[in-house]
Every structure is written in structure tokens, then in C-alpha cells.
Chains A and B, each alone.
Chain A
Amino acid sequence: MQRSYIVRRAIYAFVTFLIVLVINFVIPRVMPGSPVQYFANPHILPALEAKILAVRFGLNEPLWTQFYLYMVGVFQWPPDLGVSYMFYPTPVLTVILGRLPWTLMLVGISTVITAALGIFVGIWTGSRRGSAADTAVTSASMFVWTMPFFWLGTILLWVFAIDLHWFPAGTAETYEVTLLPWYQQIGDIAWHAFLPGLTLTLAAFAGYSLLMRNTIVEELQQDYIVVATAKGLTRRAVLFRHAARNAMLPMITLIGLNLGYIVSGALLVEIVFSYPGVGFLTYQAVLSHDYPLLQGLFLVLSVTVIIANFAADIVYALADPRIK
């Protein structure tokens, strides 16, 4: 793979990160209210602590000084994003990093399952375009596609957790879980993650399968498919070794682009299932007007998506030999 391509994408990701930092800095400062009120409110924090924070981030200084101190905070190690109101005196970053693994697990595993399923169903329906099976699966996917994540989650929660009691209605693990042997711990975590994961998978599946189907349909009309068929290759070989490989490229782009959307969906799904990831944390922060935590959450989530997009770019380059 070409090194210059990676370097270019890395620079691009870094520039995006800088713009996100600026957006994150600007939003609270163009809103009605003062930065002190949002980030070092003496009515919420102990007076001395509020004063220290106001000086530390220069909240009463001119905007440029504030920006400078904000950047110093972000680029020091460990990054200083202020102190959470709700979880005082824990720093914002510590609070977020404690919850992030749950969300990453949920989004990561469900994305892998969804993409794999979407690819196979897309190949299957795309190679049978117009058949009864294709029509049925494609229409059903389109219908599920229009469902809001959180509504689908509410329905699943209600049927399988509240009504049938098959799955727990909330939290990520049983209280006494640490007393159990490791394989039961994993089982317990999987049992709690099942419904939120299923919601994400169902809601995002259609986007992948529909794109894969359309790309396969398009690829199957190309000349190289005729050549491959004329060479005497089996239908399966033509489909998987030729058409599907080329159809994977737009899929990789979509998986990368979709991550922001999936993260957004995961936030709502976590709220529905009271799943203790960053989405539920965002909800708690909104309810208790914890602005430092909200700003930190936005920053961390954006960084996660930027990194994931960068990873998708690299995978794309590995998969597409034309990239120079």
C-alpha cells in the first residue's frame, strides 16, 4: 500500500479533529449565557473549585486566551476537559472513558454482524433480482429501514424483557457478576447486550443489504462478468470471486460513513435499555445540565468516529489496488 495515501488520510483526519475542536469550543460561547456559568458554575460546584476551574480555563479572560488554555488542556497528557458537575470531583475524561467500552462493544460487535449479514443477503438478493425471494426480502428490509432505532428498541424491550422476561430490562451486567467464573461473566454480559445489539443490527441491516444488492446488480451487467462466465467459471465463482469483490468497495465506504449514524442510533438505544454506555451518559448529562460532561462527550464521540473513518480509509486502500 502507498505510504503517501496513508499520510494524506492521516493529515485529513487530523484537520477534521482540529475543526471539531474549534466547533466544540465555539458552541457554548455563542450560546446565551457565560462560559463560567456552563463550565465552572459556583452554584453547583464548591466555590473554591469553581474559582480554580475559571482560572485554569481562563473563563473570564478574552476569547483568545480561553481558546489557548482550552487547546493546552486538550493536548496535555492526560487531556484535561474540565470537571463533571454530576460526578464531581471526577474529571470529565475519566467519567467518559469508564463508560466508553460498553458503547464500543455494542457498536463494534453489532456493526460486524450487521455488515456480514448485509453483504451476504445483498449478494443473495442481488443475484436473484426480480424473483419472489428478492422482492420479499427487499420490501421487508425497506420497511424495517424506516423504523426509528429507539422505537424498534422500545418494542423489543417491551416484548422480550418486560412481557416475556427472556432478557433483562436495563443495565449491562448483573450486580453480583464479579463473583461468578469468567465464562459466566461473559454469558451475563452477552445476555444483557443481546436486545440492544439486536436493535442496532435490525435497524442498520437494511442499509447494507440494499446497497450490496444494488451494487451486485450493477456489477453483474459488466463485461468482465460475461468474460468470466464465458471462461466456464461456475455461477458461484463468478458471483463471489468477481462480482462480490468489486461490490465490496462501496460497502467499505458505507460502513465507515455509517459509523456516525450508528453511534447516534446507539445513543438512543442505550437510553431505551438504560445501557450504561456513553449514550445513556449523554442522556444523564442532558437531564442534569452537566455542560462540561456534554462537551466532553461530543468531543470523544467525534474522535471515535474520525478514527473509525480513518480505519475505513486504510481498509479501502488495502482492498482497492487502484488507490495510489
Chain B
Amino acid sequence: MLKSARAAWFRRLRGNRRLVVGIGIIAVFLGMAALAPYLTPYGPHQVVGRPYSPPSLQHWLGTDNLGADIMSQIIYGSRVSLMVGFAVAVVATLLGTTVGLLAGFYRGPADEGLMRITDVFLILPSLPLAIILAAYLGPSETTIIEVLAVTSWPLVARVVRSQTLSLRERPFTDAARVIGAGNRRIMFRVIIPNLLTLIAANAVLTITAAVAGEAGLDFIGLGNPSVVSWGTMLYWAETYALFNGAWWWIVAPGICICLVGLGAVLISVSIENLFNPRLRGR
């Protein structure tokens, strides 16, 4: 019985084209970040051609205002952009899950207090908050990670709380309590395992939001402009490419951000479909 259920689950997994495509896209970018020095002969700042050369066989994505290879910048830039994305997702997920879990599990005044704070952060316009924090802390990638984590956790907390509220009323939670499990055991052995799918689906979405958010903060000059990331590429492109017709310089980083976003959305949607029978076949 259990075995056939598992077989069916794997069949769905294999038949799930969206998940495969999503994981494929993200894997390509992760590989790019990991293998950067082996994938391109040029350094990201190395002058290797004429300024503003359009895409050619030698420079697939053309060159920038100094004659550095855009493809190499995209490859090296993926390191910072993805690193920021993952770091933000980890911090925001840990923080949001803790708050949501505690609020949903203990309810009462703890829930009331925690959710009030969460709602305030949810309502606050995230970019202005990020901008003033970054303005004080000074431009750097660490600042960007901190700032994006501060603005991304509330959504996670909300989602985790509502699911925890529902999980703690389920028969299996009652069963655990009847056989004498304490609060901590119920939280770690019953509630958290059941939350994992939801947390994973949300963490993937947080990565997308963070990659785009990083680019946005870099774009307005709150990142470190000498670090190569997709955001700082757009920051320089805004200054130099726009009036020099260097479309490749603007298009390339943006497409990469979109693709990472697309991959993450596909993964997130598929995870939810795999584990939520109500959504199957949508």
C-alpha cells in the first residue's frame, strides 16, 4: 500500500515537466557560479576588446564601455547574485519560520504580539525601508543581505503561522499529545516535518525575490559598484549603455534575473502541486 503510493509519487515527479525544467534552470546557474573560472577565459574586469562591441563569436554578449567581456561578467556576476539570493532565503526562512511556528503553536498573547509585529513589517513598503537601512549602513553586499532578510521574513511567518494553526488541530497532533509528547517534541517531530514542503516552496520564492531585490538595490547604487553582480552590471549599464546603443549590456543581466525567477517559480509551484492533493492536475 505504502510502496505503491510511493511509486505513484515518483511517477508524478518524473511526469512533472515543470519541476524538471525549473530545477534544470537553477542547476545551470548554480553550475555557472561554481565553475566560473573554467567557463570563461576572461576576468570580469579584464579589457579584452574594443568598447561597446556588439555580440560576436569571440564575445558572445559583446563588451562594455571599457571593452570587458559581458559574458564573463554574467558568469562571475551569478556568484554574487545567487549567493545573496540564497543567504537572504536562509535567514528569512529561519526567522519567519521561528516566528510563525511560535505564534501559531502557542496562540494567545504570543500570537497576538508576534503577528502584530509581522503585519507591520508586511505593510511597510519594503524598498524604502531597505533604502534607508542601506543608506546608514553604507553600500556593501552584506548590507544588502541584511536589508533584504529584514524585509522578506514577514511573508514566511504569515504562511507558516496559518499552516501551523491548522496542523495543531489535526488528529495526528492530538494523537501525539495523548501518548504524552511534550510541546517541544510535537513541534519538532509533528508540526515541522509537515511544514517542510510549504517552507521549501516559500524559500524558493524568497530566493527569486532576493535576486531581483539585490539587483534593485545595486541598481540605485546601494551595493558595492566594484563588485560584479547582475545588479551592478545594470547599474553601470544604466549610466553608459543606454545612450550608446549597447542593448546587449542591459538585456543580458535582466534575462538572467528573469530566468532564475522563472526556474524558482516553476519549482515552487511544482512542490506545492506534488504535496497538495487538492491542487493536483491544475
A residues with a Cβ closer than 8 A to B are 15-16, 19-20, 23, 27-28, 31-33, 129, 142-143, 145-151, 154-155, 157-158, 162, 214, 217, 257, 260-261, 263-265, 267-268, 271-272, 282-283, 285-287, 289, 291, 294-295, 297-298, 301-302, 305-306, 309
**Chain A neighbourhood of B133, CB < 8 A:** 27
From the candidates A15, A155, A295, name the one contacting B116 in the complex (CB within 8 A): A15
B247, CB-defined interface residue at 8 Å: yes
**Chain B neighbourhood of A289, CB < 8 A:** 135
CB of A110 to closest CB in B, whole Å:
16
Q: Are B124 and A305 in contact (CB under 8 A)?
A: yes
**Chain A neighbourhood of B212, CB < 8 A:** 146, 148
Q: Looking across the interface, which residue of chain B has its beta carbon closest to that of A146? A: B261
Q: Are A148 and B257 in contact (CB under 8 A)?
A: yes
Stretch at the interface among B52-60, B176-184, B216-224: B216-224
Q: Are B126 and A260 in contact (CB under 8 A)?
A: yes
**Cα distance, A162 to B238, chains bound together (Å):** 13
Q: Are A264 and B125 in contact (CB under 8 A)?
A: yes
Q: Are B222 and A286 in contact (CB under 8 A)?
A: yes
The tally of CB-CB contacts under 8 A between chains A and B is: 132
Additional A-B contacts beyond A151-B253, A267-B131, A294-B132 (20; CB < 8 A): A31-B136, A31-B137, A142-B262, A146-B208, A150-B234, A151-B215, A155-B250, A260-B126, A264-B126, A267-B128, A268-B127, A271-B220, A282-B131, A286-B131, A291-B136, A294-B131, A294-B135, A298-B129, A298-B131, A305-B123
Q: Interface residues of B, CB < 8 Å — how many?
A: 44
From the candidates A15, A32, A146, A148, name the one contacting B216 in the complex (CB within 8 A): A148
Most buried by A among B208, B222, B261: B261
Most buried by A among B127, B238, B261: B127
B265, CB-defined interface residue at 8 Å: yes
Most buried by B among A149, A150, A302, A309: A150
**Cα distance, A145 to B266, chains bound together (Å):** 12
**Chain B neighbourhood of A272, CB < 8 A:** 238
B120, CB-defined interface residue at 8 Å: yes
Q: Are B125 and A28 in contact (CB under 8 A)?
A: no
B242, CB-defined interface residue at 8 Å: yes
CB of B72 to closest CB in A, whole Å:
20
Q: Are B131 and A20 in contact (CB under 8 A)?
A: no
**Chain A neighbourhood of B208, CB < 8 A:** 146
CB of B32 to closest CB in A, whole Å:
18
